[in-house]
Homo-oligomer: A and B are copies of this chain.
Amino acid sequence: MEKYLYNQTIFFNNCPKIIGNFSVVGPKEGQGNFGEFFDMVLENDRFGEETFEKAERKMIEKAFLGAIDKAKLKKHDISIFLAGDLLNQIISSSYAARSFDTPYAGVFGACSTMAESLAIGAAFVDGGYFKNVACATGSHFSTAERQFRFPLELGNQRPPTSQWTCTASACSILSLSGRGPCITSATFGKVTDYGVRDVNNFGGIMAPAAANTLLAAFYDTKTTPEDFDLIITGDLGKLGSEILLDLMERRGVKLGQNYCDCGQMMFSLSQQPLMGGSGCGCCASFLNSVLVNQMKKGVFKKVLFVATGALLSTTSSQQGDTLPAIAHAVVIENNFKK
């Protein structure tokens, strides 16, 4: 294997830490498997706003402010806000940023956005460019559904391979000072496209991207799956996770009992989730609730977090394009020594 086939990973030697984390989710997510772990569960997914789009924006604002609070910082302590979302021109993030008076840089990786913002944010903090960086994302079932698929009023039937866009937002505050799990490396993904055209099969679209990034992360960081307490993808869903296991096995890498997928776990079976949850907020809210909190308790010591995104728009699909995907990964370690 030629070396430049991978070489997708950057390393952080100064221990950029997640010193604040906050998650806010909708009612359905609150009734799911992780309900008790989220910082805030909405009673109504309108969140007191006129439209679902304005509710999504307000959730990102809430996640940002909540994470700052938990990091015991003030708004003006935040050097930059890195965020993105699924809505056209990432308006949820940009309009949220409008209310902060904090420098802002928009990022986009569809549902891989949480990992992308953490990767860029960790470089900013580790390199000494910024002191405290807020990384956030969010999604909303009702805004995604009516932007990408059908009017909500249509009550359209969902094919069996489909996933449910989570109504969820979350934010991490990264800093060199303070306490929390460290981000020790980040692997940036390449765009993959296996020729899938079915917009109701995100697992199938994104699994190859997850496989590519996992292989790169293992190669670049000189690790094997056994080196991690937990390898977590978000959000391939049930079918996508199975495809990923297959793809990895064909490449000679066996993901074991330490592998799971946020989307697959998000909802309980009684909620009839089909393949599971999806959307930027799904793995972001898992990371910023269950994962970081359990790492702080020492339950997990070294975690590989891989967020996957499908890079389509309705325009590209209407023009007959196949559906590309990407995955970005970060290694998070429970290292309180530094």
Contacts and interface: CB of A to CB of B under 8 A. Distances in A.
Interface stretch (A20-28, A121-129, A152-160, A173-181): A121-129
Nearest to A310: B89
Interface stretch (A31-39, A183-191, A261-269, A286-294): A183-191
A218 interface: no
A295 interface: no
Contacts of A188: 80, 103-105
Contact of A53 (B11, B54, B109, B316): B316
A127 B126 contact: yes
Nearest to A216: B103
Nearest to A128: B127
B88 A88 contact: yes
Contact of A116 (B53, B79, B105): B105
Interface string A8-30: 10110000000000000000000
Interface residues of A, number: 63
A119 B10 CA distance: 17
A78 to B, nearest CB: 10
Interface stretch (A243-251, A270-278, A321-329): A321-329
A336 interface: no
Contacts of A8: 103
Copies of this protein chain in the complex: 2
Contact of A98 (B4, B120, B193, B313): B193
Contact of A123 (B11, B79, B88, B129): B129
A105 B88 contact: no
A88 B315 contact: yes
Contacts of A79: 7
Contacts of A103: 8, 188-190
Contacts of A225: none
Pairs of residues from A and B, 7 with the lowest C-beta to C-beta distance, nearest first: A127-B127, A103-B188, A94-B311, A106-B108, A89-B313, A10-B129, A88-B313
Interface of A: 4, 7-8, 10-11, 50-51, 53-54, 76-77, 79-80, 84, 86-91, 94-95, 97-98, 100-110, 116, 119-120, 123-124, 126-130, 147, 188-193, 311-316, 319, 321, 324, 326, 328
